[in-house]
Amino acid sequence: MPRTVKADQICVDAVDLARSAAEETADQLGVGDHLGYESEGDRLVSHFFGCPHPGYRGWRWSVTVSRASRAKVPTVNEVVLLPGDGALLASSWVPWAERIQPGDVTAGIVLPTADNDPRLEPGYTGGEQAADADPAEASQTRAIVAELGLGRERVLSPQGRDEAAERWLTGAGGPDNETTRLAPGHCLSCGFFVRLSGRLGRGFGVCTNAFSANDAQVVTVDHGCGAHSSVVSDDRATELPPPVWDTIVWDEPATLFD
């Protein structure tokens, strides 16, 4: 069992010394009432004072005083501001790589992608010689790769596709929202729906309706909104009258001097 340390009486009585040290450090934060003390060890006691500053609600000053063996006068060992019960604390520090959220990359911000990012996997570039002008086989390979839309060093991995699909399904362009429930039809049957290519195209596309809230955004095939192309207005534009042909015939040709 840990040994119980008896508080040194000389250090316990050094309240005024501790307060003076706290006031010297506190500056404009101020020092409040004496809240008590705690024995930290042999001839080592910490005195606690309240902090009246409104920005440090629940914090307290801790002034540790100590006394050398056979000494009659204690000295200040440490002055710190510590959080107490109910103190307002800052959020736990989170690394920048974990703080970044979708949409945080704006103009002028560069977000590096890790070499081992699980959302990506190596693509097909035609081999190490595909970028060389010679031999001719490498040039042909490079042309085929470009024609097939390949040639990227890294492409989406299955995990990257799954994560993107999950975000899109639960986002504003997904099927589980009030907009879809009140829509007259799904995006799959809308004329403004342009399906994505590749595997993601099985369930997603892009809206091209300028009047839709999802214009230029990814939507699911089972999403919907009130701007569906099947909703046709009953009010048609008034038909124009047939054109009138000019049948006037001049007896003599007109000139600029007439």
**What domains, with CATH codes, occur in the chain?**
9-83 (3.10.450), 116-156 (no CATH), 158-220 (no CATH)
Largest CA distance in the chain: 137
SS (H, E, C) 148-210: CCCCCCEEECHHHHHHHHHHHHHCCCCCCCHHHHCCCCCHHHCCCEEECCCHHHHCEEEECCC
Task: Identify which of 185, 222, 187, 181 has the alpha carbon closest to the alpha carbon of residue 207.
Answer: 187
Residue in 66, 102, 95, 76 with CA at minimum distance from that of residue 23: 76
Q: Encode the chain (258 residues) as per-residue pLDDT tens digits.
A: 455 668 899 999 999 999 999 999 998 899 999 999 999 989 999 999 999 998 898 999 999 999 998 899 999 999 999 998 888 888 888 887 778 887 787 778 777 788 888 888 877 655 555 455 555 666 666 666 665 556 677 888 999 999 999 999 999 999 999 999 999 999 999 999 999 988 899 999 999 999 999 999 999 999 999 999 998 876 655 676 777 776 666 666 656 555
Q: What is the pTM of this model?
A: 0.50
Q: What share of the chain is helix, strand, coil (3-state, %, to 5)?
A: 25, 20, 55
Distance CA 184, CA 219 (A): 16
